[in-house]
Homo-oligomer: A and B are copies of this chain.
Amino acid sequence: MPEENPKAVVLLSGGLDSATVAAIAKHEGYDLYALSFDYGQRHAVESEAARRVADAVGVKGHVFQRIDLRAFGGSALTDDIAVPKPGNGDGCGRGIPITYVPARNTIFLAVALGFAEVLGASDVFIGVNAVDFSGYPDCRPAFIEAFEKLANLATKAGVEGRPFRIHAPLIAMTKGQIIREGLHLGVDYSLTHSCYDPDDDGRACGRCESCRLRKRGFEEAGVPDPTRYGPSGGC
């Protein structure tokens, strides 16, 4: 009988970071179970990207959860207010940006924990990193460590001595390092989507914080940027 691989839940947004994390988890020998969210974000094109990335890396299962964070309001990603770009006040470098979604990673990890416990998986992968941090409190190492502690108090598996591990392998990497690691593992970044404000054809704006981080990453990695930009976004 062939030995079974351990299972891992991977939070998969369809962005550059989570695609890289999925490739890392796969490379480490896990069978992947992807978990994606529609949390009322405007860029539903993310869900299509998550599907493409899951197919490309090869997952054993993929669950989409809808949770309507718009019911609470509170962020440019879910409210009907302008996405910050240069010239309309982006908040970069001035504390927590208005694109912060309250408790988002706490909610995502909590649901991932439930999925992992049902699967009998002890490992959850999440693509937070220091560059994406840019003021988001729930992207810091201390947050990940606190969630891991909580997970082991919260669950039957934790109580019974099968501790959970929350993996955040990108947490100390720059965008360029992430891209180089992903390319090394065969990630096709043309499948991924990062833009907060895509046009109707799903093309990236090239100007929002997420697009600018991504662009700088490809420049830093010294490789071509495969992103499809709208008319004014690629320059």
Contact = CB atoms under 8 A, between A and B. Distances in A.
Interface of A: 63, 65-69, 71-74, 96, 100-107, 109-111, 113-115, 117-119, 137-138, 140, 142-143, 146-147, 149-151, 153-156, 158-159
Tell me the dominant secondary structure on chain A's binding face: helix
Contacts of A100: 156
A159 B114 CA distance: 27
Contacts of A69: 114
Contacts of A104: 114
A104 B117 CA distance: 11
Contacts of A138: 153-155
B106 A113 contact: yes
A108 to B, nearest CB: 8
A109 B46 CA distance: 26
19 contacts: A67-B111, A69-B114, A72-B119, A74-B117, A74-B118, A101-B114, A102-B113, A103-B111, A107-B107, A137-B154, A137-B158, A137-B159, A138-B154, A143-B150, A143-B154, A146-B146, A146-B150, A147-B150, A149-B149
B137 A117 contact: no
